[in-house]
Amino acid sequence: MMKVLVLGLGNPILTDDGVGPHVAKELEDKLDENVTIMEASLAGLNVLDLLVGYDRAIIIDSIKTRGGKAGQIYRLDLGEFEVTRHAVSTHGVNLVTALELGKMLGLDLPHKIDILAIEVAETDRFGEECTPEVARAIPVCAGMIIDELKAGGAACTGDAAFD
């Protein structure tokens, strides 16, 4: 049976930054047993460790884009990320580089990784709940993931205005 990871990334005590973990919580008990739901406040090489052993992964994270409307949900693929491979700090090795390294080393990584990013409004204030527009996107995003896993396709509610 295909092993699937649904990974909510973010800091759950930093208001909207916690939207990824909130979506993961929303999905608890709603997915088949071959799907592992996980929450993490990690990046780069540490995320690579979590992905090993799964056939497919869906990552949910917060995003801030220029002119973006809070609560919009974007579907991104790894190719859309600007890559700075030679980081300054060990806190800075990004996911794309980490995944390339993992592939190079023959790690058992998902053959398909989808990223759902939710446009956020507030990430500089402590708080365990999201702002209203972002909170409304949580069940929507969770529903998209359920549909996606059922049908193998998906839709999104907005277009990202990337620079």
Partner 1 sequence: MASCKATDAVYHADPPPAAKKLRELFYCAHMNHSHIAHFYALAAPDFVLGPMSDPAQRNILGVVAKVGLQIGGEVIKHRAYAQSIQATIGGKATHPVCGLPGGMSKSITEEERKDFEEKAKSLVEFAKFSIKLFNDVVLSNKEYLALITGEIYTMKSYYMGLVDNNNRVNFYDGNLRLVDPDGKEVAKFRPAEYLDYIAEHTEPWSYMKFPFLKKVGWKGFTEGKDSGVYRVSSLARLNAAEGMATPLAQAEYERLYQTLGGKPVHATLAFHWARLVELLYAAERLLELCRDKEITSPEVRTIPTATPDEGVGVVEAPRGVLIHHYKTDEKGIVQKVNLIVATAHNYPAMNMSIKKAAQSLIKKGQEVSEGLLNMVEMAFRAYDPCMACATHTLPGQMPLEVVIHDSQGNVIDRFTQHLPS
Binding interface with partner 1 (CB under 8 A): 40-42, 45-46, 48-49, 66, 84-93, 97, 100-102, 104-107, 123, 163
Q: Strand pairing partners for 59?
A: 7, 115
CA distance readout (Å), 37 to 58, 84, 162: 10, 29, 29
How near is the Cβ of 51 to partner 1 at its closest, in Å?
A: 12
Q: Tokens 């390294």 map to which residue?
A: 101
SS3 sequence, 63-93?
ECCCCCCCCCEEEECHHHCCCCCCCCCHHHC
Question: How many helices, marked H, and strands, marked E, lie in the chain?
Answer: 4, 5
Distance CA 68, CA 34 (A): 34
How near is the Cβ of 48 to partner 1 at its closest, in Å?
A: 8
Q: Which is nearer to partner 1, 31 or 107 (CB)?
A: 107
How near is the Cβ of 129 to partner 1 at its closest, in Å?
A: 19
How near is the Cβ of 100 to partner 1 at its closest, in Å?
A: 6
Q: Which is nearer to partner 1, 128 or 147 (CB)?
A: 128
Q: Which is nearer to partner 1, 47 or 141 (CB)?
A: 47
Q: Which is nearer to partner 1, 1 or 104 (CB)?
A: 104
How near is the Cβ of 104 to partner 1 at its closest, in Å?
A: 6
Distance CA 123, CA 13 (A): 9
Q: Which residue type does 130 have?
A: C
Q: Which is nearer to partner 1, 105 or 155 (CB)?
A: 105
